[in-house]
Amino acid sequence: MLLDALSYLNSILLGSMLFFVIIVSPTVFTSLSSDQASKFLRIIFPRLFLFGLVISLVTALGYYISSLHIEMILALLSSILFFLNRNLLTPMINYHRDKEIEGDIKSKKYFKLLHLLSVLFFVMNSIILVFFLLNNTFNYV
């Protein structure tokens, strides 16, 4: 029963992440001005990362209760990546993006590097979630 609930939570999180990448981001960039898109994304990204942080902490607790220690460690890693994305990378990305717009050439390089790191964290979290879902499907049926 608990493993089913954890599977549902992981599915919800992965689905929300995919929805953001497949639907929200392209729509924002094609339908809003650059300034409006920037304002919108600066609001939604921290909320998406907070949502991921909360869900991954809940699943880590569930895996701990279920004595699934590898899954618990992976869920904690996912939590850390969401936390870092929300509280460290996003503010730095926004800062360097603003400086880039003002003409700071160094900030353009930092922006690209930090954005790439943020995307890598997002991809790593997606891989962890796919692992959870596949592991649940094939091991706990």
pTM of the model: 0.92
Quote the pLDDT of residue 139. 75
* Amino acid identity at 9: L
Per residue in 68-104, pLDDT tens? 999 999 999 999 999 999 999 999 999 999 999 999 9
Orientation angle between helical segments 69-84 and 34-65, nearest 10 degrees: 160
Q: Which residues contact 24 (CB under 8 A, 6 or more apart)?
A: 44
Task: Work out the mean pLDDT of the chain and round it to a whole number.
Answer: 95
The pLDDT of residue 140 is 55
Token digits of residue 108: 């353009």
| The residue type at 55 | I
3-class SS at 103? Answer: coil
Domain boundaries, the chain: 2-139
- Go through 99-110 and write b for each residue having 16 or more CB atoms within 10 A of its CB, e for each that does not: bbeeeeeebeeb
